Amino acid sequence: MKKFFEFFKKNRVRKILAAVLGFSLIRLLASFAVYLLAAGHGSFVRSVYTEKIFPVITSPMKFVASLFPFSVGEVLLIAAAVLALSGLVFCFARWIYLGVRKKKGTKGFLRLLAVVLTVGILVGGNFFVYGALNYRSLTFKEVTGIEVTPAKTDELEQLCLYLGRKATKARSVLTENDEGVICDARSDYDILKASTKGFATASKEFPCLKGYLVAPKPAIFSEMMACEQIAGIFPIVYTESIVNVIAPVYDTPFTACHELAHQLGFAQEDEANFIGFIAAIANDDPLYVYSGYYNGFSYAMNKLRSYDQDKWAAVWSDPDIDSEGISRDMRHANSIWDAYKKKAPVISRISEAVNDTYLKANDIKDGTYSYGRMVDLMLAYYRSKLPAAVSGSED
C-alpha cells in the first residue's frame, strides 16, 4: 500500500493521475450518498435533478454522439479493451524481463493498477451522476397522472382488438419480403435516425416528453447483444442509446423509442416501453407506426393469453386483424431470438439474470417482468377511448 501511494508522488503525470483518482473517488462516494438519500424524495429529485441537472450534464456527451453515424461508446469500449490488454501484456513482459535480470519489476503493474482503478471509479461515478438517480425520480405515471387500476379481461380483450386492428392497418402500407415478413430498404442508421420525430408530436399530449434527443445508433456488437438477448441499451455511464440491429426492422423502431425514453430521464422499463409505444405510433414514418402497434399488440396478447385462452383465440380470429401477416412477423422475430439463445444458452441466461438483478437493485421489485407492465399503462391510457375505438368510430 505504501508503495502504491509513493508511486503517485514520483512525477507530474502521476500527480495528475492522483488528482483525477481523488476527484473520481470523492465524486463516486458523494453521488452514491445522494442516491441513497434520494430514496422517497421523488418530487425533489424530479424537479432538481431529472428536469434541470440531468439534461445539462448529459447534453455534451449526447452532442458528441450525434456527430458520428456509429456508436461512440462502443468504439471507446473497444479502444479501452485494446489499451488494457496491451498494457497488461507490456507489464507482464517487463516483469519477466526485469525478473530475469533480478531487478524489481512492480512499477509497471502499479501504473496499470492506478489507471484501471481511476477508470473504474470514474465509470462508477458516471453511473450515479448520469442516470441512476432517475430511479429515485417521479415516474411517468406520477408526472402525467395516468392512473393504473386493475382491469377486467374484457377490457384487455378490447385493447387487444384495438391494437391488432391498428397494427393491421399500419402493416398494410409496408412491404413484405419473399417470406411474407415486413422489410425496409433503408439502412439501419437511417431507420433509427427517424426515431426522435414522434416525440415532438407525443409531447403535445405529454409535455414531459420534450427534450434534447439523439437517435440511437446501430450496435457494432449486435451479435453479442443478440446472444445476451438484449434489444437495446442506454448504458448511463456514457449517455448514448444503442439498438441491436439483428432484431427485425419492425422491432428496432419501438426499441429505439424505448431507449429515447431513458434519455428523457424515465428509468422504469415498463414506462420506457409505454413511452416507446406512444412515440412510435405518433411518428409519421409508417414503419414506426407498425412497430409501435405490433409491439403493443404483442405484449397485450401475451397478457390476455395468460388470463383467458378463449378470448385470446377470439382476437386472433377477428376478421379485421391480419392474423397471418402479424403471426409471420412474430414467428420470424422469435426465430431470431431463439437461434441466438440456442447459440449461447449460458450467456443469455447470465445476461437475463444480471438485468433482473440490476433492476431489482434499483427497487424494481419484479425485475425483467416489469417490461410487460406496459400493458397496464396502455389499458389506463385507452380506458376512456376503448369502446369507441373498437367499434371503429375512433381513429
Shortest spacing between CB 269 and Zn ion, in angstroms? 5
**Which stretch, 52-60, 80-88, 109-117, 264-272, contacts Zn ion (CB under 5 A)?**
264-272
3-class state of residue 243 by DSSP: strand
CB-closest chain residue to Zn ion: 272
Report if residue 156 touches Zn ion, rule: CB under 5 A: no
**Which stretch, 13-21, 89-97, 272-280, 343-351, contacts Zn ion (CB under 5 A)?**
272-280
Pure H helices in 267-322:
269-281, 286-307, 309-316
Distances (CA, A) of 98 to 3, 10, 11, 85, 102: 18, 20, 22, 20, 6
CB nearer Zn ion, residue 91 or residue 247: 247
Dihedral angle of Cα 385, 213, 71, 171, to the nearest 10 degrees: 30
Report if residue 260 touches Zn ion, rule: CB under 5 A: no
* Residue type present at position 119: V
**251 within 8 A of 295, measured Cβ to Cβ:** yes
CB nearer Zn ion, residue 257 or residue 272: 272
Shortest spacing between CB 258 and Zn ion, in angstroms? 6
> By C-alpha distance, which of 219, 293, 255, 272 is closest to 71?
219
CB nearer Zn ion, residue 174 or residue 233: 233
Distance CA 202, CA 297 (A): 19
CB nearer Zn ion, residue 174 or residue 333: 333
Whole-angstrom Cα Rg for the chain: 24
Report if residue 364 touches Zn ion, rule: CB under 5 A: no
Shortest spacing between CB 268 and Zn ion, in angstroms? 9
CB nearer Zn ion, residue 122 or residue 202: 202
**Which stretch, 23-31, 217-225, 269-277, 303-311, contacts Zn ion (CB under 5 A)?**
269-277
Among 167, 227, 230, 272, binds Zn ion (CB under 5 A): 272
Enter the C-alpha cell of residue 295: 409491439
**Which stretch, 42-50, 91-99, 270-278, 322-330, contacts Zn ion (CB under 5 A)?**
270-278
Shortest spacing between CB 140 and Zn ion, in angstroms? 13
CB nearer Zn ion, residue 121 or residue 378: 378
**Which stretch, 59-67, 98-106, 267-275, 331-339, contacts Zn ion (CB under 5 A)?**
267-275
Strands 175-176 and 182-183: antiparallel
CB nearer Zn ion, residue 272 or residue 287: 272
Q: Please, which of residues 133-152 interact with Zn ion by CB under 5 A?
A: none
Beta-carbon count within 10 A of 363 CB: 10
Report if residue 279 touches Zn ion, rule: CB under 5 A: no
Distance CA 362, CA 170 (A): 36
Q: How many helices (H) and strands (E) does the chain have?
A: 19, 5
Report if residue 160 touches Zn ion, rule: CB under 5 A: no
Report if residue 359 touches Zn ion, rule: CB under 5 A: no
* Residue type present at position 116: V
Enter the C-alpha cell of residue 4: 502504491
Distance CA 318, CA 298 (A): 15
Shortest spacing between CB 56 and Zn ion, in angstroms? 22
Report if residue 167 touches Zn ion, rule: CB under 5 A: no
Enter the C-alpha cell of residue 61: 456527451
CB nearer Zn ion, residue 266 or residue 312: 266
Distance CA 225, CA 230 (A): 5
Total residues in contact with Zn ion, by rule CB under 5 A: 2
Report if residue 282 touches Zn ion, rule: CB under 5 A: no
3-class state of residue 182 by DSSP: strand
**Which stretch, 49-57, 194-202, 263-271, 340-348, contacts Zn ion (CB under 5 A)?**
263-271
Contact footprint for Zn ion (CB under 5 A): 269, 272
